[in-house]
Amino acid sequence: MLTYVLRRLLIAIPTLLLISLVIFFLVDLAPGSPASEIPLTVDAATRAKILESLGVNAPLHERYFLWLKQFFWIEPQYAIDHLFGTDLAQGAQRIISYSSRSPVFSIIAERLPQTLTVIGTAYAVAILIALPIGIYSAYRQYSWVDQLGTFVSMVGYSVPTFFTGVVLIVIFAVKLQWFPSIYDTTLKITDWGSLWAQVHQMILPVAVLGLYNAAEISRYTRSSMLENLGQDYVRTARAKGMGERVVVLKHVARNSMIPVVTIIALGLPGVFGGAIVTEQVFKINGIGAALIGAIHANDLPMVQTITFITAILIVTFNLIADILYGILDPRIRYD
Amino acid sequence: MPDGAQPVLQVRGLKTVFRTRAGEVHAVNDVSFHLRRGELLGVVGESGSGKSVTMMSLLRLLPAPPAEIRSGEVLLDGRDLLKISDAELREVRGGKVGFVFQDPMTSLNPVFTVGMQITEALRRHMGLDKAAAETRAVDLLELVGIPDARKRLGAYPHQFSGGMRQRVMIAIALSCDPDVLIADEPTTALDVTIQAQILELVKELRRKLGMAIIWITHDLGVIAGIADRVMVMYGGQVVEQAPVRELFANPQHPYTRALLQTIPKISGEREARLKVIEGQPPMLAAVPAACAFRDRCEFRHDRCDRENPLRRPVDGKTLGQGHDVACHWQAPAAARPQEVAHA
């Protein structure tokens, strides 16, 4: 297993380098200039100086290698400095956003908590809802719970989040006025009242994203459970005198969870990627919103960095999913 | 085994139907039989004759729906297994009655160790703690002839060969000292040498432990080697039942006679074609009002189309005690096939 993980990590290096190359060059090809965000009142000489200071005039390959060095060498040093109060970076040049002129990673650090709170909660809620529904639906196939669950997950899976989001806002925020339609990122949790306010404003976005993710996970859980419930070993377990709870939750669920865990692990990068659409609909100031804003503003370093982080996460969680597969299924050996 | 021994299992009038979209399938029709203590009852019939469904009905192991046990009683030590609660039934399953299934490749749970799958039953039925259950599991694995048993407890099913897995299945079925072992074609999925080993193992275990065994198979050759008594099933019914020597020497039902002729013989003419029974087994879509075998029967006459034959004693003994057959046709003594004597 250890050799397998090491081998996979080594393979990940050229993979990620290739991805970084593609991302950097493709984004650089995009039309528009970083100068477009500078007000027109700024005169040409100053404009040229600003562009010079941003480093946009350097050749493409130079900018790429600088960015790569900053990403893998300088920014980690800043992170360590920040955490342990050391001074490894010694003021080296960080990746700077074209539009805000502040370090890209500082912006990400600011935005990440919003994304993790809302989207992460939605994902956790989705898993907690989806697993019991999927297991019960399969065990009582064609019962009314199963029919309802299957219908809701079909709807949840096929209707896009920007539509359910808007529908929920119209019904619960505009008509009924039960929930706010805009997520307030400045809210600080200091007491029970503000905690409640936070939970209150999270309900709609969590419901929208939770429905979508729960739909996907419960469908996988149900079909995986159904497949395993018909297996011979289930009959063996019953013939041994095991109770239904042990048969279903131990023997069948343990086998059914193998593909489901993989689906959950592969879905996690999406949490960090920030469910871009949902963040837009509910005006949540997270990573997704930062990415959309950066694209609009021709903020190339921001776009390149966020996209590349997402790519790293996808590669990482692919590896994690494969390792989990090996842990959960004793038939799979990686050595 | 002595004839007068008390039956440990008594089945009367068992009827099992499957409800499907196309209608009801009557898989088991009014099946009655008994099993004496320490006896080995062979159950023979081709695929779809209802032999597995009958045995699974005994422990209510069939998925319901679509399966439904419509009537009958299954008395184990005088207690009707079809009437007791689910909790009581679970005490019987794996406790009083052990079950070995056909395909050892799929009958064990792939994600749990063999040790866990044996000890699970032991802890459930015998109330053993983990250490005691593991000690007994080692004994059981040694009993069924798995070398290096202590080490093998931690192994997963995929690390065993088919024959070894079936030994593990037998160890599980025997783990709680059952009175009855039901083996549903336990050697069908195995190759011939392994099949012979498993047969020897069961014979030996029976000598050592003395439980009654129901052995389901479609292989009469296997039955000849191990059974005390044979029950032939066709179309969800028992068509003939007799002590093993009597059945082979004096088969009464045309189906049994045909089955005996399908056993390939090593001696004799090489050119002779393997005998087959022409036609297909019936679909069992309704309670038969006629003989289920009539379409494939060479002795068919009017009565076979009008009336489903009841079981009648052949040798004058009480029904079920000696040799009985469900057929309108009377086999003339002279018509006994001679070659079956050495089959």
Identify the CA nearest to A225 among candidates A312, A297, A141.
A141
The rounded distance, in Å, linking the Cα atoms of A76 and A58 is: 24
Identify the CA nearest to B157 among candidates B191, B113, B102.
B113
Query: For residue A31, which phi and psi values (nearest 5 degrees)?
Result: -70, 165
Please give the span between the terminal C-alpha atoms of chain B, in angstroms, as a whole number.
22
Contacts of B124 in chain A (CB under 8 A): 240-242
Predicted TM-score (pTM) of this structure:
0.81
Cβ–Cβ < 8 Å for B315, B249: no
What pLDDT, on a 0 to 100 scale, did the predictor assign at position A14? 93
What pLDDT, on a 0 to 100 scale, did the predictor assign at position B335? 46
What pLDDT, on a 0 to 100 scale, did the predictor assign at position B294? 76
The rounded distance, in Å, linking the Cα atoms of A284 and A277 is: 10
What pLDDT, on a 0 to 100 scale, did the predictor assign at position A281? 85
What pLDDT, on a 0 to 100 scale, did the predictor assign at position A308? 92
DSSP-derived secondary structure letter, A252: I
What pLDDT, on a 0 to 100 scale, did the predictor assign at position B343? 38
- In tens, the pLDDT along A198-247 reads 888 888 889 988 998 999 999 999 999 999 998 899 999 999 988 889 99
Of B109, B110, B158, the CB nearest to A237: B109
Residue in the structure block whose two tokens are 């005390």:
B228
What pLDDT, on a 0 to 100 scale, did the predictor assign at position B221? 82
Q: What is the DSSP string of B197-215?
A: HHHHHHHHHHHHH--EEEE
Residue A185 binned pLDDT confidence (cut-offs 50, 70, 90):
confident
Cβ–Cβ < 8 Å for B318, B34: no
- CB of A329 within 8 Å of a chain B CB? The answer is yes
Identify the CA nearest to B184 among candidates B25, B48, B51, B340.
B51
Q: What is the mean pLDDT of chain A?
A: 87
Query: For residue A152, which phi and psi values (nearest 5 degrees)?
Result: -60, -40
Residue of chain A whose Cα is closest to the Cα of B168? A236
The fraction of chain A above a pLDDT of 70, given in percent, is 99
Are residues B107 and A237, on separate chains, in Cβ contact within 8 Å? no
Cβ–Cβ < 8 Å for A310, A271: no
Are residues B101 and A232, on separate chains, in Cβ contact within 8 Å? yes
Residue A165 binned pLDDT confidence (cut-offs 50, 70, 90):
confident
Identify the CA nearest to A123 among candidates A254, A265, A258.
A265
- The arithmetic mean of pLDDT across residues A148-171, rounded, is 89
Q: Which of residues 74-113 of B touch A (CB under 8 A)?
A: 90-95, 98-99, 101, 103, 106-112
What pLDDT, on a 0 to 100 scale, did the predictor assign at position B119? 92
Are residues B110 and A235, on separate chains, in Cβ contact within 8 Å? no
Query: For residue B74, which phi and psi values (nearest 5 degrees)?
Result: -125, 100
- H/E run at residue B79: strand B79-80
- In tens, the pLDDT along B194-235 reads 888 888 888 888 888 888 999 998 888 888 888 889 999 888
Residue of chain A whose Cα is closest to the Cα of B157? A331
Check pLDDT > 60 for residue A173. yes
Are residues A331 and B90, on separate chains, in Cβ contact within 8 Å? no
Residue B2 binned pLDDT confidence (cut-offs 50, 70, 90):
very low
Most A-contacting residue of B108, B109, B112, B166 (CB-CB within 10 A), to test interface: B109
- The arithmetic mean of pLDDT across residues A44-66, rounded, is 84
Q: Which of residues 298-317 of B touch A (CB under 8 A)?
A: none
Would the CA dihedral through B312, B313, B314, B320 be positive or negative?
positive
What pLDDT, on a 0 to 100 scale, did the predictor assign at position A274? 60
Q: What is the mean pLDDT of chain B?
A: 82
- In tens, the pLDDT along B38-54 reads 889 999 988 878 888 89
The fraction of chain A above a pLDDT of 90, given in percent, is 24
